[in-house]
Amino acid sequence: MKLYDSIVIGGGPAGMTAALYLLRSGVSVAWCEKLSPGGQMLMTEEIENYPGFPKGLKGYELVDLFAAHLDGWSFDKYTDEVAEIIPGNGVHRVRVGDEWVEGKTLIICSGARYKRLGLPNEERLTGKGISYCALCDGNFFRGQEVGVVGGGNSALEESLYLSKLVKKLHLIHRRDDFRAMKCYQDKVCIKPDIEVVRSTVVTEIHGENALDGVTLRNLKTGEEHFLKLDGLFVFIGFEPVTGFFPDQLGVDAQGFIITDVEMATNVPGIFAAGDVRSKLCRQVTTAVGDGATAANSAFLYLEQLDA
């Protein structure tokens, strides 16, 4: 069983930054990422708020720049899914696919995924009209009528992207006011092909082999009506990727990992960074900061072990 100074779990901006900082510190690193590096950046059409790029850039372009920064460094990469972590005294075991590896420190950067509505037919019609990624699936609905559920940054960003492709977009939000940044609200409100539907929730999803439409309920009046749609995009928040967490790892009520300001968890030698961490702001910039902090903390922890 191979032993590393640090095992980084996750290939988003937090994981790539953590790996870079650890490698520059001269420690041995294993990087576990079952998919292509980039995380949710790969599902983002345009990133406008990353410092140093005042004109913005495509999500995949920023991913390529991050990945290029790791070129030339020597580390082991595991491309299977992390299935289990067994914490130990000074050494932690990680099962990646069918293989076990060990790390003196772990940095968990497994990120978060979009929440589901939790309605009947949702899972069955996912990929058949229901989607959680506008960049991935928007082109399938070119010239058609779609709905977007949500009121945060992701919902409005994705609506603006989809509005360039579809004939009509219904932005369905359960509150009167959006939680998204004002710059996105201003853009949405002047788009003639976006209809904002406030104080409304989706109560039913209809369709056999493909989405036919949804039933909407107005939360103020209680009235319901059917809205015919070709596609429905859901952006109602995130839930952490947690399937491999050890039982003793401290998490909040939503399952996100609790850390201190130095990214340390309640388990010595295990750190967390990025969207999987319990915090209020989840952006590429905060993920990068988390990753750098976690790597620095892991390095200091390794020095204490050696001492």
Active site residues: 133, 136-137
Q: How big is the CA angle at 258 (ends 86 and 261), to the nearest 5 degrees? A: 115
- Rounded CA separation 139/162 (Å): 8
- In sequence order, what are the residues at sequence separation of 6 or more whose Cβ sits closer than 8 angstroms to the Cβ of residue 79? 33, 34
- Rounded CA separation 128/130 (Å): 6
| Cα Rg, the chain, nearest whole Å | 21
Amino acid at 193: D
Map residue 24 onto helix, strand or coil.
Answer: helix
113 phi, psi to nearest 5 deg: -125, 160
Q: Are strands 92-96 and 224-228 parallel, antiparallel or unpaired?
A: unpaired
